[in-house]
């Protein structure tokens, strides 16, 4: 419940920020006004300082604008790139800088005043290269469609959504074009990079604010260098590639995660079946064990069918525009389920509690004299674990590669097979206390990771804002991202987990004390006699 409230709070916070986005842009647009006034007075230094102030402030307010209107967001980013382009010339041409700033101001004011469509500034969008610039070449401003048509198509994920790998491919194409002397093609390809960047930047911003800012600056510089036919272009492109390379692998889950999900869920289901078989044997009902196995097989079959059905359903529902949102929501739902599972396992961490749990359900089924009841008990035990497994893997979404998923499932299945042989055939007994304690820790680890990656996916999708801080921890194994939203969500989870552990401890202590009272009374009575 706590995580659901947290998710609702994050969602409402994002909408509140989106509503305030016009005021936020109005507040920082004063720097654009000041830059325009400065350039009209031929004070280029002040104009540059004022625009830099706008650029720095834009980093803090851009997410709600992107969530509210991707068209306006893309237009503002595009106009900012033209301002950076105009400022990169030496000397700066005041007329070109003024035109770029006026276009940026026009788009900003349209958004501030609540316009629903981006104003057309194409007539003045292209800045003229500075006179005397080294081998300057005029390259028309290109839209995303034009750039895409004049450069090598980008590589995209299976969903059609651009990835960091797409950006690296574009950079390699631009470098190859420059090496062949096709400067116009390189400039168009870099413009394509700027367009594609808008669909990928969230993956970088939520992981490294510095890498995000540096890439935004370098892609504007690279475009200018391509227009100027500068020998510095290859170095800038290499620098951008080196910076983005660590983020090429967008997978947030690995073999270990896939293995422990299947192993934990499968082992718990296996323990239920083994415990039911053992109880029947002790109670003299060996002949009814086939009903346990029948229920288990049926539960496994229905779980597999459920998994395939849900996979087909989500494959048809997910597209490039809602993938992150759906993966984020399913990740958070999975984390809520994992909290319950972790608490349940912690509650059954003693052999007495586990045996009581199995005995109560088995005795109830036998008391009714229903063999179907025994099969249903086994079926529900397997199906519950299977359904949870489906949900957890669904929460991983595209955050795990197919190879890692298959290998993790294979390792988990082999380990389950070995454990099943030892438990059922050899008769090895697993100490319930240590098993459930270790398992609950692993489950809580998964829950912690699901919360971080779930919020992160919503941030990438623009549903939840991302407030980055360089001093916040980042670790892919634990699902840590350097944003306040992911960090606070995981801190809340730790507090909830600690609260549940304390509650369970006091509850167990109270129950133990209550069960000990009759013994003490009987002993005292005997002593009196």
pLDDT at 344 (0 to 100): 60
Q: Which helix (H) or strand (E) holds 445?
A: helix 432-460
Per-residue pLDDT at 518: 55
The whole-number pLDDT of residue 96 equals: 93
Q: What pLDDT does 50 receive?
A: 96
Start-to-end CA distance of the chain, whole Å, equals 54
Q: Could you tell me the mean pLDDT of each successive run of 10 residues in the chain, 529 residues long?
A: 46 51 93 96 95 91 84 91 90 93 95 91 53 38 38 45 87 94 94 88 80 89 91 94 82 82 81 75 73 85 82 63 67 74 56 58 60 75 78 72 86 89 74 71 83 84 75 84 90 87 75 60 44
pTM recorded for the entire structure: 0.58
Q: Could you tell me the residue ranges of all domains in the chain? A: 21-120+140-247, 255-515
Give residue 7's pLDDT: 47
Residue 43 is predicted with a pLDDT of: 96
Classify burial at 178, counting beta carbons within 10 Å of its beta carbon; exposed 0-12, middle 13-18, buried 19 or more.
Answer: buried
Residue 497 · residue 342 · CB < 8 Å: yes
Q: Say what the pLDDT of residue 206 is.
A: 76
Give dist(CA 494, CA 337) in Å, integer.
15
List of residues 6+ apart from 381 with CB closer than 8 A: 269, 272, 273, 276, 295, 296, 299
Residue 245 is predicted with a pLDDT of 87
How many whole angstroms separate alpha carbon 507 and alpha carbon 512? 9
Q: What is the chain's Cα-based Rg?
A: 30
Q: Select from 196, 65, 50 the least CA-distant residue to 118.
A: 65
């Amino acid at each position: 419940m706590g995580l659901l409230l947290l998710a609702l709070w994050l969602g409402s916070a994002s909408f509140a920020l989106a509503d305030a986005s016009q005021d936020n842009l109005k507040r920082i647009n004063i720097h654009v006004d000041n830059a325009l006034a400065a350039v009209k007075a031929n004070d280029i230094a002040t104009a540059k300082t004022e625009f830099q102030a706008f650029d720095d402030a834009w980093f803090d307010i851009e997410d709600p604008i992107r969530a509210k209107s991707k068209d306006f967001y893309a237009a503002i980013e595009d106009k900012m790139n033209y301002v950076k382009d105009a400022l990169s010339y030496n000397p700066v041409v005041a007329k070109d800088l003024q035109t770029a700033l006026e276009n940026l101001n026009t788009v900003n004011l349209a958004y501030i005043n609540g316009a629903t469509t981006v104003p057309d500034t194409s007539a003045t969008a292209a800045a003229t290269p500075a006179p005397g610039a080294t081998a300057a070449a005029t390259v028309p401003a290109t839209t995303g469609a034009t750039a895409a048509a004049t450069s090598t198509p980008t590589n995209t994920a299976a969903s059609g959504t651009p990835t960091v790998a797409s950006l690296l491919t574009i950079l390699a194409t631009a470098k190859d074009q420059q090496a062949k002397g096709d400067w116009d093609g390189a400039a168009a390809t870099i413009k394509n990079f700027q367009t594609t960047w808008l669909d990928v930047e969230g993956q970088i911003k939520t992981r490294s604010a510095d890498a995000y800012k540096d890439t935004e600056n370098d892609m504007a510089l690279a475009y200018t260098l391509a227009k100027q036919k500068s020998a510095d272009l290859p170095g800038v492109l290499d620098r951008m590639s080196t910076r983005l390379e660590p983020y090429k692998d967008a997978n947030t889950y690995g073999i270990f995660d896939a293995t422990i999900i299947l192993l934990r869920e499968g082992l718990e289901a296996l323990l239920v079946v083994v415990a039911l078989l053992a109880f029947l044997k002790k109670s003299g009902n060996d002949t009814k064990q086939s009903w346990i196995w029948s229920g288990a097989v049926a539960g496994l079959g229905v779980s597999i069918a459920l998994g395939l059905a849900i996979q087909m359903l989500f494959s048809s529902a997910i597209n490039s525009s809602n993938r992150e949102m759906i993966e984020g929501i399913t990740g958070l739902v999975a984390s809520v389920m994992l909290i319950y599972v972790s608490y349940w396992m912690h509650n059954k961490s003693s052999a007495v509690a586990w045996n009581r749990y199995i005995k109560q359900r088995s005795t109830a089924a036998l008391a009714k004299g229903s063999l179907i009841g025994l099969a249903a008990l086994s079926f529900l035990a397997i199906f519950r674990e299977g359904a949870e497994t489906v949900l957890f893997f669904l929460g991983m979404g595209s955050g795990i590669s197919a190879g890692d998923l298959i290998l993790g499932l294979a390792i988990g299945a082999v380990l389950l097979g070995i454990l099943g042989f030892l438990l059922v055939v050899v008769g090895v007994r697993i100490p319930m206390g240590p098993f459930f304690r270790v398992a609950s820790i692993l489950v809580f680890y998964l829950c912690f990771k699901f919360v971080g990656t779930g919020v992160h996916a919503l941030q990438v999708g623009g549903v939840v804002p991302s407030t980055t801080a360089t001093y916040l921890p980042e670790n892919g194994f634990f699902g840590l991202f350097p944003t306040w939203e992911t960090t606070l969500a995981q801190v809340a989870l730790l507090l909830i987990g600690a609260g549940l552990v304390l509650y369970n401890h006091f509850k167990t202590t109270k129950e133990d004390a209550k069960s000990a009272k009759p013994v003490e009374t009987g002993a005292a009575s005997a002593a009196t006699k």
